[in-house]
Every structure is written in C-alpha cells, then in structure tokens.
Structure 1
C-alpha cells in the first residue's frame, strides 16, 4: 500500500546571518517569515498558523507571541511557542503537520530566531549549567558550566566503551568542513587537516574548539502546508513522510547511560514506521550536531551503522563528499552555522529541492533530519522526500 505524505514544506526563508549584530531576535524572525512566505509564492493573508521557537537561553520577550502583530497576520487558527530545547524546530513542523491534518490551519509558518553572538562572541551566552545529576543547583556551584562540559562527559563514555578517539572526532569535523567549502552560506570554509584539528585549542577534554558549534545571529523559517496545497506552489514540494519523537529521561541509577543510549532510537523507529521504510532507505542525513560526538552517536542511534561503529564509519569517509551516506552537506553546526534545529532543517529542504548546487547530493530520495536538546535528552526527527510515494 502506498503511503501518502503527512504534509509538505513549501517555503524556506532566511534573515541575514551574521557574527555581528544585525537586528533583534524579533526583527530577524519577522524577516525570515516574510522571506519564507515569498519563497512559497504566498501572501500574508494565506498564513493561518504561526509557531515560534526561541533559544532556551534567550529571554521569552526576545521572541514573543506578539510576533503575529509584527507580521500583521490576522485571524490565526494556530499560534504557539514551542519549547523542547534543540528538538523544538523539528517539533514545530510535526505539530504544524498534525494541526493541518485536523483542520486547525492550512498554511503554517514555523520560525526559529536567535542572537547569541554579542560583542565578546557566543561563549558567554551558552555558559549555563546543564542539570544532569538531579541535585538542584549542583552543577552551577561546582562550576560545571556550558553544554561543552556536559557533552564532553558523554563523549568520554563513548570513548571508554567503544575506543573512539580524538582523531575520530577530527574526522567528523573534517568531513563537515569539506561540505561547508561547497556551501555559499557556510561560515567556515577553509580546508581543514587533521594536524590543524589536533592543534586547535582544547575547550574541555576531549573537545577542541573545532568540535564545537559555530553560533551566528539570524533566523530561518519554513511554511508547512498539506501535500495537496504544496503541489502548485512556486518551489518544488518537500514532502514529510515520517516523523517521530523520543524522550528517554534520566533515572539517576548506576545502570542508566543516557550519554550513549538516548531517545533517538525511539524517534527513529516511529518515523521509519510511519513512512514505511527502514534506516537502509535513507540516502542523506542532516543531523543536529552541536558537537562532533553528537553526529557520530546519531549515526548509531538512528540505525545508520552498528552500535560503536559510528566513528569508524565517519573515518572511512562515508559521510564526506563522495561518500555512501552524505551527512550535514551544508557544513552542519560545526562549519556551516549554528542556528540550533533550523540548521539541519534548512539544509534538508535545500537538498530535497535539488537546490544544493556544488554540494547537491546524488540521491535525495529520503533525507533524515534530526533535532536534539538538553544533553541528548530530547529527540525529534523528520523523513523528507521530493516524491509523493516512497514505494
């Protein structure tokens, strides 16, 4: 039986992306939504749903529901702010699809906007405590600040269990940089060697600077519609065939290892099942990879290689240009730009449209897009395709 698409993405819009101040979070969000509406060949009057996602470290007033008024959107049937940390952007598309199916809206704008890069860079913005122990305030009192520290512990566990090395993380960063060199929007395009990677400053072992995301100021929006409505729009439809979420939780017990066993497999299984496919059918991936380790782990957790073999898979060149499974073809968070969950979403849309230019993958039949938040706590994914049927 042929499965119909769940929904479609018909518009993609960017604000200016910069490492310098280029506007408020709210102004950039409005610019991205307007660009997405124009990209879809729609008018503001056609938009009857608006979903908003801000960074978990941003104040709520930076991107309020009053964005509706800024955009002069009237009579919305759907309006909400989505907050599930790094998985939120993917979840916006999922909730938009469900709302459309239930008749709450017909064309939903989904937008993420952030301005984390201040005068001193983005480091201070993300120097927050991540609660891992369950003991309120412990992490901050111990100086355990920043996502890098939390993710470094997770990476150390993978290294201990499977023999993953610093060079393996370097191979992942080099693969991302090779893709970024082909992306006009990427911020870090200079070719990267292993020696250069190993010589980069250490942030917190095992992470070097080049293992960490490159944050920018900016916003990205998409327009979600039904598959039928997307068929006659300005851009080629990007059909959503599968979607899933997985939130495993932390028990705090000795045998619980959320660093290497996350909710991603649950998200993957639901998405593959809803699309009627398996991991073997995926032809390209756009992964939320705020750190190199996250990209390697995602390959394992989403069933694209065996447990403990993600590092070797990357080191063998399979994810790089010319490899068997292109991963983060815009450079990802490490070399492209870090705008949280909309970075992989935007590249997924570009690839499915066949608009990747020099970085266009040879097969865009089924593109996996992932989002994750917390310290590997919250997971959501999409399966995108240019085809109305996957069978």
Structure 2
C-alpha cells in the first residue's frame, strides 16, 4: 500500500534526567519525560487525550503501570495501553499512536519509555545478565551458562565473520564512528575520542564481542507527543510518512539464517512503500544497534548494501561523520546512551527538527528502527520535517 502525505506528526520531545547513578525509578522518570514533551509542544497536560507506556521487557508490569495516568493527572483518555514488542516497542508506540490519531481515537497521544537498570543493589551488567531464549527448550541457555544478550549476539558476530570474512577492525569501525558522532551530543555519556588501538585492547565479554562493542545503559526516560498532521502548526513538527513492522517467527528452525533472515527487511519495505521512498533517498539512519554486529546487519537488511557488504560499508567510513549515510548521529547506543528503542527515535526526531547542533546532517528523510529479542522483532518509521516527500 502506498500513501502520499503524512500519516501524523510528532509535536513534542521530552527527556527526564539521564544518569548512570541510582536515582528515581521508571515511574517518576516517565512522568518527568511526558511533562517535558508536552511543554516542548507548547501544550498543557490537559491537552493530552492518549497515553502509551513502554518499559523494559525484563521488568514486571508494576514498574510502569497504567496508573501513570493518575500520576500525571490525566483524565478522560481515549487511549491508554502498555505496549510490549521487545526492543521494537518504542517504534510500535509511534505507529499505534499514529493509527489512533488517524482513526479518531485520540488527538494528542503521549508515548513514553522509561527504564532504570542501575540501582543501589544492582548494576546494569547484572540487570541484563539473564538467559535469552535461543532454542525454545526451557532452561537450556541457563544450564549451559549462556547469559545475557551479549552471549546471544556473540553468535551473530561469529556467524557474520565466518560467512563474510569480517575482521575485528571492521566491527571496531562501527564503534569508532558512533564515538565520533557522540562528540557533538551533550547527552552522550562517552564523548572522549576512541582509537582502534583502544578498541582492540578492550576485554572480551562474549567472544568475539568486546566491551566496546556493547551498549551503554543508563537510567532515564524519553517521551514524544503524536498529533494529527494538521495539529500544532509550528516549526517543531516532524511528519510521520511511513511505518512498518516485521516479525520472523521461528528463525532457529528451517532453512533460514537466523542471524540475518529476520523481520527487518519486511519492516523496511513496508515503511519505504508507504512513504514512497527507498533507501537511496534516506538522509540519515538511526538504528537500534546495541552491538556493533547488529548495526552492520541492519545496513544490509534495510537495503543500504547487499548481504555481506555491511562490514566493508562501515570500514569505508560511510556511516561516520562526513560519510555518505550518517548513522546513529547522537552516538547511538554504544557511545550515546542505551534506552532501548527510545535512543534511535529520539535522535531521529532531533535530526528531523534540525536541532542536532554540531552533529546536524541533511534531514529530508530520516529512518528510525527498533529491534527486539534476538532480532526476531522489528519496527521502522520514516520521518521528515517536510509535509510532502
């Protein structure tokens, strides 16, 4: 299906405090971010008639309950839900809010992701060191000591290396590019220059994945306000032109390559078709890439290069500042901050609004993606400051 013209618009973007130290829990962080997003749009909380919530999938429901509505003092909502689609959830919130304002369920929908993996008792490493199911056999991963996403995605990096001959330096180039972008982002947590020597000297977490290949978790929340495309006529509006999802089902079975054959291609094709554009027209890409290998695979799955060419694409400097395809221009999840799907979407909105400062790039068409599980779940959105593409 091809649709011309915007589906909806983002009118406000808000952050809570972002920190690597114990502090407020997700519920308070979410309220802070929503309040800031509504104020950023020049509105009051009373103007909001829809609320979508997203917490980390490893956290219980009470971490971010529906009663956040009451915390915010919101009344008579036409839409209220907690969204769960693993790491694709934030882009899914954008999509659901878009469909809601199109269908008349609500006019102004606040969407928020909040997480606080760092507490007084647990650091981020322990928080995420849980078994990630790979086989569907209950308890198998835990019994053999395969803990955390790092171990699971180590298979992705290993398989990519075996099939396509990628080197340690190829993965390092992705990390170096994100660090270079982070120098222009005041919210980025890792802004000091990174050399290839420093990257190669960093310790292995789950070979071949090193510390410098991994996301940098923080406590915080990000919220955005989705409105009808003709609502809130001001310079901060970002138009939503295309949305798509893709879910691969059971990639560990059959004749698929589970490391690469996933829902990203479907999510991208749907979003591109809806917006009437293709990968060649994308000004910048904001990928959900918690590991260097996932970023390289995303380049291929979203059509920027062929299968097996992502490592060379990165090594040539094409994703770095000055490259042909600016990628993760806020420093991404490795050098910026890891707030799951909120990280790429927030940067996509900032770039589309032309508020990137020293890191601002051409912003005609911005791709934002989400990735969940071990790459089984994907969502994508095409954003632009322009009403017509």
1:70-89 pair list within 5 angstroms: 70-89=71-90
Cα distance in 2 for residues equivalent to 1:103 and 1:182: 40
How far 1:302 sits from its partner (Å)? 0.1
* 1:5-154 to 2 correspondences below 5 Å: 5-119=6-120, 120-154=122-156
- Deviating 4+ runs (over 6 angstroms): none
2:206 equivalent to 1:207: no
Partner SS, residue 299 of structure 1: helix
Aligned to 1:288: 288
Provide the residue aligned with 1:387 in structure 2: 386
Counterpart position of 1:364: 363
Structure 1 residue 142: Cα displacement: 1.4
Whole-angstrom distance in 1 between the partners of 2:135 and 2:333: 27
Does the residue aligned with 1:253 lie in a helix, a strand or coil?
A: coil
Distance 1:11 1:251, change over 3 A: closer
Measured after TM superposition, the shift of residue 141 of structure 1 is: 1.5
**C-alpha distance after superposition, 1:317-374 (max 9, x if no partner):** 111011110000000000000000000011001000000000001x100000000000
Structure 2 matches for 1:328-343, cutoff 5 A?
328-343=328-343
> 2-side partners of 1:86 and 1:230: how far apart?
29
Q: Could you tell me which runs of 5 or more consecutive residues in structure 1 were left unpaired when the two chains were aligned.
A: none
1:216 equivalent in structure 2 = 218
The SS at the match of 1:23 is coil
CA–CA distance in 2 between the matches of 1:205 and 1:258?
19
* Alignment match, 1:176: 178
Verify the 8 A CA contact 1:16 1:22 in the aligned structure 2: no
1-structure distance, mates of 2:152, 2:238: 35
Whole-angstrom distance in 2 between the partners of 1:230 and 1:331:
30
Q: Per-residue CA shift, 1:79-127, capped at 9, x if unaligned? A: 0000011000000000000011110000000000000013452000001
Map of 1:164 onto structure 2:
166
> Deviations for 1:193-228, whole angstroms, at most 9, x for unmatched residues?
000000001101110000000000000000000110
Give the distance between the partners of 2:114 and 2:342, measured in 1 at CA: 9
Whether contact under 8 Å (1:127, 1:146) holds in the other structure is: yes
TM-score by length of 2: 0.98
2:197 is aligned to 195
Aligned-partner Cα distance in 2 for 1:82–1:253: 27
Q: Quote the Cα distance in structure 2 between the aligned partners of 1:21 and 1:150.
A: 27
State the distance in 2 between where 1:145 and 1:345 align: 28
Judge conservation of contact 2:14–2:222 (CA < 8 Å) in 1: yes
Q: Secondary structure at the match of 1:19?
A: coil
Give SS of 1:249's match: coil
Q: Tell whether the 8 Å contact from 2:3 to 2:275 is kept in structure 1 after alignment.
A: no
Displacement of 1:2:
8.2
Structure 1 pair 330/15, CA: closer, same or farther in 2 (3 Å)? same
Measured in 2, the distance between the counterparts of 1:141 and 1:338 equals: 28
Go from structure 1 to structure 2 and tell me whether the alpha carbon gap of 1:308 and 1:230 turns closer, same or farther (over 3 Å shift). Answer: farther
Asked if 2 retains the 8 angstrom alpha-carbon contact of 1:344 and 1:370, the reply is yes
Paired residues, what number?
Answer: 387
Give yes or no for contact 2:8–2:228 (8 Å, CA) kept in 1. Answer: yes
Residue 218 of structure 2 aligns to a residue whose secondary structure is: coil
User: Aligned match of 1:229 in 222, 228, 231?
Assistant: 231
C-alpha distance in 2 between matches for 1:78 and 1:118: 32
Per-residue deviation, 1:24 = 1.1
TM-score in terms of structure 1 length: 0.97
Partners in 2 of 1:388 and 1:274 — Cα distance?
A: 14
Partners of 1:2 and 1:103 lie apart in 2 by: 18
Query: What is the deviation of 1:252?
Result: 3.7
In the alignment, the residues of structure 2 paired with residue 138 and residue 337 of structure 1 have an alpha-carbon distance, to the nearest angstrom, of 31
Partner residue in 2 for 1:155 = 157
Matched with 1:239 is 239
